[in-house]
Amino acid sequence: MTCNYIENYELKNHTTFKIGGLAQRVFFPETIEQLCELLQTLHNPLVLGNCSNVLVSSKGVEQDVILTSKLNKFEVANNIISAQCGVKVPMLSKEAESHSLSGFEFMIGFPGSVGGAVVMNASAHSQSVSDTFKTCRVFDMETKKILELNKDEMKFGYRHSILQEKNYILLDVKFELRPLAKEEITAVMQRNLDFRKDRQPSLVLPNAGSIFKNPPNDSAGRLLEKAGVKGLKEGGAQVWLGHANFIVNVENATSKDVSLLMNKMYNMVKEKYTIKLVPEVKFIGIKSKEEEDLWDTMLNQK
Ligand SMILES: Cc1cc2nc3c(=O)[nH]c(=O)nc-3n(C[C@H](O)[C@H](O)[C@H](O)COP(=O)(O)OP(=O)(O)OC[C@H]3O[C@@H](n4cnc5c(N)ncnc54)[C@H](O)[C@@H]3O)c2cc1C
């Protein structure tokens, strides 16, 4: 194996929630070839990007972990941007701006990687990853082969792509953007940043973005606010006072604290509106029996 790894790595250092236990081995591939070699040889590894949409278990993870942060190369050719899976999206947004290319203005506001953004079909401010997506290469963990997928094959939907159905690992992507005057792009990016200022906690208060997905034709934040969850606390985790669909880690919160709080939020909306919210944040790693039950309720909509 040509890729170095770190043993007993504390995953909380890498997550925007600052929650997460130990991984026995964490690999940091620096080339796509190294990533593919790891995917060929490791048994069922867990691939993570910037860990901004995950709740990592405080008990840690059993599998080997691959973090994509060093797969950060990209290229701009005319209006096509090609990026490896570990490129940070705010950086890509700035790069597109500097080349007078429109389509990534929404990416300025959230701390994801290209891999996580494609998996989740990240979106905001009326733009989404699927708008500019052209093609990508994935590693199929079943056949151990590299596939090229076009936009139709990606089955993009709200916070959904085929990568959530199949065991595919995103290697790199090509996006097609639209030429536009730089001043117009800069103005939209600034507007997007201003919009977030009081509607989203900064990462000084560790968080993982929106906790629940919006139900059809409604807003999870609105329902949660009306249900009265703002300020509720469970251990070191608290529903942010500025917006009811965010949980902030105020004091050494654990994955159990967050899971309990999410369950309370889920039940309060269910009782008031008979609407069952669906978690947007993904639980990663070893679940205690209690966490198993809490997540079973939310994921199976009980
Ligand atoms: C303050 C804040 C604001 C946010 N605002 C928004 C927003 O406006 N809109 C929005 O859509 N999201 C938002 N998010 C959520 C998050 O930033 C995005 O979903 C982001 O795209 C996730 O990227 P990531 O690299 O952090 O993914 P991770 O959290 O690392 O991973 C998410 C999932 O993708 C998988 N994954 C990651 N990389 C790969 C890969 N290469 N191949 C296969 N699977 C992979 C992981 O296994 C995991 O299941 C916000 C988060 C925060 C903290």
Residue nearest to atom 51 of ligand 1 (CA): 209
CA of 299 to the centre of ligand 1 (A): 18
- Written as one letter, the residue type at 115 is G
User: Taking the mean position of all CA atoms in its chain, how far away is CA 262?
Assistant: 17
- Give 213-258 as a DSSP string: PPPTTS-HHHHHHHHT-TT-EETTEEE-SS-TT-EEE-SS--HHHH
Query: Would you call 93 a catalytic residue per the annotation?
Result: no
Confidence at residue 166, expressed as pLDDT on a 0 to 100 scale: 97
Contact 116, 129 (CB under 8 A): no
Residue nearest to atom 17 of ligand 1 (CA): 112
Q: Work out which ligand 1 atom sits closest to the CA atom of 170.
A: 42
User: Taking the mean position of all CA atoms in its chain, how far away is CA 213?
Assistant: 12
Q: Is the CB of 237 under 6 A from ligand 1?
A: no
CA of 282 to the centre of ligand 1 (A): 9
Q: Is the CB of 20 under 6 A from ligand 1?
A: no
CA of 26 to the centre of ligand 1 (A): 19
Question: pLDDT by residue for the chain (302 residues), tens digit each?
Answer: 579 899 999 999 999 999 999 999 999 999 999 999 999 999 999 999 999 999 999 999 999 999 999 999 999 999 999 999 999 999 999 999 999 999 999 999 999 999 999 999 999 999 999 999 999 999 999 999 999 999 999 999 999 999 999 999 999 999 999 999 999 999 999 999 999 988 999 999 999 999 999 999 999 999 999 999 999 999 999 999 999 999 999 999 999 999 999 999 999 999 999 999 999 999 999 999 999 999 999 999 99
Beta strands 65-67 and 22-27: pairing type?
Answer: parallel
Q: Nearest-CA neighbor of 16 among 217, 205, 288?
A: 205
Q: Is the CB of 53 under 6 A from ligand 1?
A: yes
Cβ-based neighbours of 295, under 8 Å, separated by 6 or more: 259, 279, 283, 287
Cα 191 to Cα 187: distance, rounded to the nearest angstrom = 6
> Of 97, 105, 234, 280, which is the active-site residue?
280
Cα 231 to Cα 243: distance, rounded to the nearest angstrom = 10
Query: Would you call 82 a catalytic residue per the annotation?
Result: no
Confidence at residue 1, expressed as pLDDT on a 0 to 100 scale: 57
Query: Would you call 113 a catalytic residue per the annotation?
Result: no
CA of 211 to the centre of ligand 1 (A): 12
> To the nearest whole number, what is the mean pLDDT of the chain?
97
Residue nearest to atom 43 of ligand 1 (CA): 169
CA of 122 to the centre of ligand 1 (A): 7
> Of 210, 255, 259, 291, which is the active-site residue?
210
From 120, 210, 213, 299, give the residue whose CB has the most ligand 1 atoms within 8 Å, as the site to mutate: 120
**What is the value of pTM for the model shown?**
0.97
Q: Which domains does the chain have, with CATH numbers?
A: 5-67 (3.30.43.10), 74-197 (3.30.465.10), 220-299 (3.90.78.10)
Q: Nearest-CA neighbor of 69 among 87, 52, 93, 57?
A: 87
Confidence at residue 73, expressed as pLDDT on a 0 to 100 scale: 98
